[in-house]
């Protein structure tokens, strides 16, 4: 698998919440690289089955913002990709509207590192704005607004 193929796989993974079952190894691990108290999924590697159930919950809880057309879950926009050796680094932003509160907006910024083995993704390490995740989870719109405004400048 060449670097362009790896980038295509990484893009597909990122645009689908970080996991596409047919593109990962049997022992695939997904890790949110953050302090365990800062994010519900941080602190340990997760197998594909745990991540898939979380992605299904996200599809139930969120929809795409209107400007991106219809869709369930988080809309991911790729900002950049870099490939070298056995890994691809993807910088992205995710956007969504909570179904329970359509006036609210979820926007987060992530960097994911996809490590390949034998033509498939063996590991995903994700770095994201955990302050925003916490503020969103606790319904703190002023913090979310401040974070979102900072990222736009």
Sorted by where each starts, the structural domains of the chain and their CATH numbers stand as 3-152 (3.10.450.50)
C-beta separation of 123 from 28 below 8 A = yes
- Packing angle between helix 130-137 and helix 141-152, nearest 10 degrees? 150
With a cut of 70, say whether residue 85 has pLDDT above it: yes
Task: Give the count of alpha carbons within 13 A of 56, CB side only.
Answer: 6
With a cut of 70, say whether residue 152 has pLDDT above it: no
Mean pLDDT in the chain?
84
With a cut of 60, say whether residue 150 has pLDDT above it: no
pLDDT digits (tens, 9 = 90+) for 26-50: 999 998 888 777 777 777 888 888 8
* pLDDT on residue 80: 97
Closest CA to 9 of 86, 96, 95, 107: 86
């Amino acid at each position: 698998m060449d670097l362009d193929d790896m980038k295509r796989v990484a893009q597909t993974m990122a645009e689908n919440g970080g996991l596409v079952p047919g593109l990962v190894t049997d022992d695939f691990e997904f890790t949110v690289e953050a302090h365990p108290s800062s994010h519900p999924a941080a602190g340990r590697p997760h197998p594909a089955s745990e991540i898939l159930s979380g992605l299904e919950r996200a599809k139930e809880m969120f929809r795409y913002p209107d400007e991106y057309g219809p869709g369930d879950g988080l809309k991911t926009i790729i900002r950049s990709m870099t490939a070298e050796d056995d890994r691809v680094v993807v910088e992205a932003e995710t956007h969504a509207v909570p179904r329970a509160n359509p006036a609210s907006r979820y926007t987060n910024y992530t960097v994911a590192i996809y490590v390949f083995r034998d033509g498939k993704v063996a590991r995903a390490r994700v770095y994201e704005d955990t302050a925003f995740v916490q503020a969103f989870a606790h319904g703190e719109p002023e913090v979310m607004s401040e974070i979102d405004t900072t990222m736009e400048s």
